[in-house]
Amino acid sequence: MIVEALIRGLPIILNDYIPGQEKGNVPYVVGNGAGVFTRSPKETAQIVEIVAGWFSTNSDELKKMSENSLKLAQPEAVFDIVRDIHDLAGQRGPLADVPYVLTSSFTNLI
């Protein structure tokens, strides 16, 4: 959901991550000012207060986090991935001999 929030310019509240594949998300989001992270219930209560402040006295912080989210967003990434997969399929493996017309179903989206 991080990518979706970034594309929409929404601040992110992270409360956990999957070790390994998601570990880098926390410093990326927090370090770029696009969200906050907490694991403990006590810190979560503090986050609730921060979020409440976004909608009352501290709307500047909400606006800044929203702007930071939009700076990190890469909405065209999915199309880059499709292009890369298509190129790789053409270079090796069983799809290397498949006619382009059969592997280019996403071309009209690119």
Q: pTM for this one?
A: 0.61
Amino acid 29: pLDDT: 93
Q: What percent of the chain has pLDDT over 70?
A: 82
- The pLDDT-based confidence of 46 (bands split at 50, 70, 90) is confident
**Average pLDDT score, the chain:** 80
Return the SS3 of 35: strand
Exposure of 57 in the CB half-sphere (CA atoms within 13 A):
3
Amino acid 31: pLDDT: 94
* Choice between 67 and 95, residue whose per-residue pLDDT is larger: 67
Residue 28 has pLDDT above 90, yes or no: yes
Please state the length of the chain.
110
- State how far the Cα of 36 lies from the Cα of 29, in Å rounded to an integer: 7
Amino acid 26: pLDDT: 92
Residue with tokens 């070790």: 19
